């Protein structure tokens, strides 16, 4: 069965630095990959989408890469701020299916 791995340990980053989060998967490569942000007590909020034929996408301070050879997506937050502290979830989707398979998320802490 498909397995998705995200850093299980919390990631502590100093304010102003770039935070890099990893999402690795096994077996079949997805048709697309999405990243969500989740704050305590709230539902996930969509951030970025990247498709299998795309290498990189950017949105403001966010950047996501997708390497189907390594079976890995990297999510970067540049010039990180304490307000970026949250749990970040990667989610995989496949052609012909509309549901997402989520990783367990990485808890990011930006320290001032």
Query: Using CB under 8 A as the criterion, which residues of the chain lie in contact with another protein when the complex forms?
Result: 31-32, 34, 41-46, 49, 51, 89, 93, 95, 97-105
Spatial distance between the Cα atoms of 47 and 26, rounded to a whole number of angstroms: 23
CB of 4 to another protein, least distance (A): 9
CB of 30 to another protein, least distance (A): 10
Spatial distance between the Cα atoms of 66 and 73, rounded to a whole number of angstroms: 4
Q: Which is nearer to another protein, 45 or 79 (CB)?
A: 45
Asked if residues 110 and 23 have their Cβ atoms less than 8 Å apart, the reply is: no
CB of 20 to another protein, least distance (A): 21
Q: Which is nearer to another protein, 84 or 105 (CB)?
A: 105
CA nearest neighbour of 62 among 37, 92, 30, 44:
37
Q: Which two tokens stand for residue 29?
A: 């490569």
Q: Which is nearer to another protein, 15 or 62 (CB)?
A: 62
């Amino acid at each position: 069965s498909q397995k998705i791995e995200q850093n299980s340990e919390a990631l502590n980053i100093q304010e102003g630095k770039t935070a890099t989060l990893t999402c690795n998967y096994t077996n079949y490569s997805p048709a697309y990959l999405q990243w969500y942000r989740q704050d305590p007590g709230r539902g996930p909020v969509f951030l970025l989408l990247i498709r299998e034929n795309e290498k990189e996408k950017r949105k403001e301070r966010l950047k996501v890469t997708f390497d189907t050879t390594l079976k890995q997506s990297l999510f970067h937050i540049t010039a990180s701020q304490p307000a970026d502290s949250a749990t970040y979830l990667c989610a995989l989707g496949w052609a012909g299916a509309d549901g997402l398979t989520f990783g367990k998320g990485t808890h990011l802490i930006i320290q001032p």
